[in-house]
Amino acid sequence: MAPNPGPYTGPGTNTWIVDAGPVVAVIDPGPDDDAHLDALDKRLAGKTVAVVLVTHGHPDHLPLAVRFAAPHHASVQRYPELRDGEIVRAGALNLTALYTPGHSADHLCFLIAEDRAVFTGDLILGQGSSMVTYPEGDVAAYLHSLDRLASLEPQILFPGHWDPVTEAMAKIDEYRRHRLEREAQVLAEVRRGAGTPTDLTRRVYGDLDDRLMVAAEMTLRAHLRKLVDDGVVRERGEVYEASVAPTYRRKQIWDWLARGATTFEAMVDVPKALRGALDTAFRATSLRPIAVSEADRGLTTKTLFELDGGHSVEAVVMRYADRSTLCISSQAGCPIGCPFCATGKFPFGRNLKAHEIVEQAVDAARVLAEEGRRLSHVVFMGMGEPMANYHAVVDSVRRLADPDLLGISPRRIVVSTSGLIPRITQLGEEKIPVTLAISLHAARDELRDVLVPINRKYPVRDLVDTAQAYADRTGRRVSYEWVMLAGVNESERDARELGALLKGKLAHVNLIPFNPVEDTPYRAPDRASIRAFKDMIEAQGLNVTVRDTRGREADAACGQLHERVMRSRQTAGV
């Protein structure tokens, strides 16, 4: 046990040495502490350390791992490199990694199947309760992880803190009941009266030491997030209040919104009293269209919506003979800062909430229904980095796919990312078969570091390996997006590097002619250059298409309509 006792670590962090002979696995080396390192080395004298496993990246579990492993020449394995279901072998030992998010987004447990023994990290402790705190903690994911653990029917649990648990199933049930009871307590308090998280924390927990009060509020915020996602609590800025409609009525209201209703009064099968209460408390939609532009003889429509708080986002509807596609935004602005993107030119605003993402689709479905069309495809390629707003994006995908709501097949939903590797891995474990698109644009790090700055944190080869792991797990081909920039990324060298990078991968390359953006040095190549680049890639055995250049006169590149409208407002002094 590491010498790090405290209010959140109990007597200290358990470092588990798992052996079946001279070869051992070590789980959670703990904090970077010299005395603990010396104690481990003495305990392991004469043993061979095959692997160091880490349940999650918190500072009481991870920091010593690399320093401890180095002299033993042992590998350090943790999420996301170590994937769900992967078996780690150490001599005669077989340990199965179990992805169990909730306490943290990167949490793993380790199962020895033949002994029905699980090393639980901080999913379950020997005493007390595990912390599930906002923003990293996810109560819904935590409950799902407990259910998964229970399905294994373990006999003994080895937690990250305190003693082993021999009544494993009873302990899992205790933890589940505790979390649900806390959720019910939070909901009951919200129903007694609206309040901020700080107000509600005092009402739920009573008087606490200041340090514990901070942790209690973060726990309560995590519960509030789940209650908001469940539709039983409404968030109004920093104030949380109870929803006014029961679950079955919310289904009716969703049906009306999906059919294009813009007022509660139009929902004639909802009781009049409830319609009045809804009209007093809410708006039927929270997005307000403030500008619309059309192109391609009306086949492409871009709408700029204003959000609560004054930020704005764009959505683009593209009509084809066999489908209708919506390009949807997930953030107001974008934190990635790609220099060729119009969205990256103005300050990042905020993440969109799941309902704000879905409302873009509801509006598109309404417009298309008036034309006798149906919204069939959604691509998360509008403003923002979807993986930087992960929970809201995944929640919105589930709502878009819900057959009782819009009923869009997940296979017709594309989620794009500039390359947030941990979130790509997490998406692969959600069991929603969306298509993953990678905003690649360069196949070598020195160029991609400039075009896509997140590459400095997540290098291109690591990104492509992670995307291929997603393809292996889901069976879905990955789309690699390549904005064509004249004199920048369309040379023979670029084509060769792209071919080598994607060789043998389940991949499709999508070449995108650059949409001109003011005040940038970039321009689009001519058609002959695009065709030549496409031919060079195809010659290496890759599947390639050139994207239809829709909406050039509709400001259809990300952020262009927003930029034009904001500029005109400034000129007018608005």
> What is the predicted pLDDT for the residue at 503?
94
pLDDT at 571: 45
- pLDDT tens-digit map of 7-17: 889 999 999 99
- Report the share of the chain in percent with pLDDT over 90: 67
Phi, psi of 358 (to 5 degrees): -65, -35
pLDDT in tens, 322-335: 899 999 999 998 88
- The pTM of the full predicted model, rounded to 2 decimals, is 0.59
Q: What is the per-residue pLDDT for 228? A: 85
Residue 540 β-bridge partners:
none
Q: Which of 327, 334, 338, 558 is catalytic?
A: 558
Distance set, CA 543 to CA 380, 511, 547 (Å)? 22, 11, 13
- Per-residue pLDDT band for 283 (boundaries 50, 70, 90) equals low
> Measuring CA to CA, which residue among 556, 573, 574, 555 is closest to residue 564?
555
234 pLDDT band, cuts 50/70/90, is confident
The answer, yes or no, to whether residue 19 has pLDDT greater than 70, is: yes
Q: For the chain, give the mean pLDDT.
A: 89
φ and ψ of 281, to 5 deg = -90, -30
Average confidence (pLDDT) over 468-474: 94
238 part of the active site: no
- For residue 458, pLDDT over 50 is answered with yes
Residue spans of the domains in the chain: they are 1-166, 247-281, 288-572
Q: Which of 314, 356, 385, 563 is catalytic?
A: 314
Q: What does the alpha-carbon distance between residue 116 and residue 77 come to, in Å, rounded to a whole number? A: 22
pLDDT of residue 237: 82
Residue 251 scores a pLDDT above 80: no
Assign 409 a pLDDT band (cuts: 50, 70, 90). Answer: very high
Domain 1-166: CATH architecture, name and number where available: 4-Layer Sandwich (3.60)
Main-chain dihedrals φ then ψ at residue 236, nearest 5 degrees:
-125, 90
Write out pLDDT tens, residues 44-55: 999 999 999 999
What are the pLDDT digits (tens) for 419-451? Answer: 999 999 999 988 899 999 999 999 999 999 999
Q: Summarize pLDDT for 66-123 with one digit per residue, the tens.
A: 999 999 999 999 998 898 899 999 999 999 999 999 999 899 999 999 999 999 999 9
pLDDT at residue number 260: 63
pLDDT mean over 192-206 = 93
d(CA 50, CA 96): 15
Catalytic site includes residue 265:
no
Q: Helix, strand, or coil here: 172?
A: helix
Taking the C-alpha atoms of residue 383 and residue 356, their distance in angstroms, rounded to an integer, is 13
Sequence-ordered alpha helix ranges (H) in 259-353:
272-281
What is the CATH number assigned to the segment(s) 288-572? 3.20.20.70
Which range among 140-144, 286-290, 407-411, 455-459 shows the weakest confidence by mean pLDDT?
286-290
Q: What is the mean pLDDT of residues 460-474?
A: 95
Q: What is the pLDDT of residue 572?
A: 43
Helices (H), 193-282: 197-205, 210-229, 247-258, 272-281
- The per-residue pLDDT for 566 is 54
- Would you place residue 212 in the very low, low, confident or very high pLDDT band (cuts 50, 70, 90)? confident
CB 57 within 8 A of CB 30: no
111-145 per-position pLDDT tens digit: 999 999 999 999 999 999 999 988 889 999 999 99
